[in-house]
Amino acid sequence: MNETKAVRIINKQQQVEVIKEDFKYCQKVFLAIGNETRQSIITVLMETTCSKGLRVGEITEKTHLSRPAVSHHLKILRDAEIIMVREEGSKNYYFIDVRTKLGTLKILINHIDEFIEQYY
């Protein structure tokens, strides 16, 4: 095997390892966003023009879900670090921020895309 081919194999193997790690890092995100109800909540949060975020009652109105159901799904989204909460006294405002783990999906997709372009 010539040196160039050996280097390419190492690089390919390294890239696959990076993608495996990306998948592991994104597991909670995949589980959280794989649910249609949580997808609905995410899109409601994305559609809002309110810069402060939305309260549970506002999300309930827009999704037509019960308050306990919204709270349950918000907890899963928070645990997966997809949404954030800002507390203002006794009020909680939920929002999506660039610091959430949704950004990790973009990194994963970029790594897969680079791999495909290079090897396929």
Residue 1 has pLDDT above 60, yes or no: no
Each residue's pLDDT tens digit, 12-57: 999 999 999 999 999 999 999 999 999 999 999 999 887 789 999 9
pLDDT at 103 over 90: no
Which CA distances in Å does 54 have to 43, 105, 107? 12, 24, 27
pTM over 0.85: no
- Evaluate the CA torsion angle 23, 29, 30, 31 in order and state its sign: positive
Model pLDDT for residues 55-97, shown as the tens digit of each residue: 999 999 999 999 999 999 999 999 999 999 999 999 999 998 7
